Amino acid sequence: LEDLLCHFDETDFKIISGLLNKVKYETLADELFISIDTLKYRTKKMFAAVKVSSREGFIELICKYNIQI
């Protein structure tokens, strides 16, 4: 997981922060000036990289390893 995080850019970390804070996708996309489709594409890639299939699973994984974003 840490190796994966090394390849994330600033936008990815903002997305993760938004996910952890339970920000709605539409709001998060607006805040990041990206489309909802782009946000969903990026989150799906993140989820696939750590072998989870949902936002909840991703949040659980981040919390499990106490990763600070």
Helices (H), the chain: 2-6, 10-20, 25-32, 36-49, 55-64
pLDDT in tens, 8-40: 899 999 999 999 999 999 999 999 999 999 999
Q: How far is Cα 42 from Cα 37, in angstroms, rounded to an integer?
A: 9
The pTM for the full model equals 0.88
